A = this chain, B = another copy of it.
Amino acid sequence: MRNFVVVGNLATTTPDFSLEDIPGTSGRLDILCRCVNSAFVLSHGIRHDVRIFLVLRGGEDPKTVCLRGRDLRHLNPDERTTAALLKKALGLEATDRWQRSTPGIYVRTRGLADLAVLRGDTIYYLREDGADLREQKVGGDATFVLGDHLGVNEDDEALLESLGAKIVSAGPASLHADHCIVLINNELDRTEAERGYE
């Protein structure tokens, strides 16, 4: 299973944003929508072996939305329809237990530190000055943590360090999170192709 965790530092936790101006009204939920596209979208379908956790911090208390490829439905590649799916999820009365919004989309309160996926698998934290992803032989069950345009904060970094996260970089240029996810998926595709899809 490929897991992506993206921190949306200002991303709204309510459905009160406009689909006509996503970047300007949602705390840059557009960035997270593009990450969802990069995580799942293939030419003729979606990746079933992917989950993405969007940590939304633009409210009083954080919320996390999880999209799971195994049962994900209604995902189109464009930003607006993804934002509409997130809007629907954020309209639910969230508790600290995962609750289904539409097929494959789940929401709860709580943030990064409470994600079980950070406890189990190999953790990679994407940062510009990290070791080259291509040298890491990534594969198998792995979790990749990325920040939005504001990165992640010092507390997050301390948490990731305490969990033994490896700091990796996707290449020499400074890239948005969604482009990093494309590069990570490609690296994992190549590893799996070499291993013959164990």
> A residues touching B (Cβ–Cβ < 8 Å)?
19-23, 30-31, 34, 37-38, 41-44, 76-81, 149, 170-176, 179, 182-183, 185-186, 189-190, 192-193
Contacts and interface: CB of A to CB of B under 8 A. Distances in A.
Contact of A174 (B23, B44, B78): B44
B182 A22 contact: no
Nearest to A187: B171
A173 B185 contact: yes
9 contacts: A19-B20, A42-B175, A43-B174, A43-B176, A77-B176, A171-B186, A172-B189, A173-B186, A173-B189
Contacts of A37: 34
Given A44-B174, A171-B189, A77 B182 contact: no
A90 to B, nearest CB: 19
Counting every copy of the chain, the complex holds: 2
Given A171-B186, A185-B173, A179 B80 contact: no
Contact of A179 (B41, B78, B176): B41
Contact of A79 (B38, B80, B172, B179): B80
A30 B175 contact: no
A171 to B, nearest CB: 5
Contacts of A173: 42, 185-186, 189
B193 A172 contact: yes
The 4 closest A-B pairs by CB, nearest first: A43-B174, A172-B193, A182-B182, A30-B78
A41 B23 CA distance: 15
Given A43-B149, A179-B182, A23 B78 contact: yes
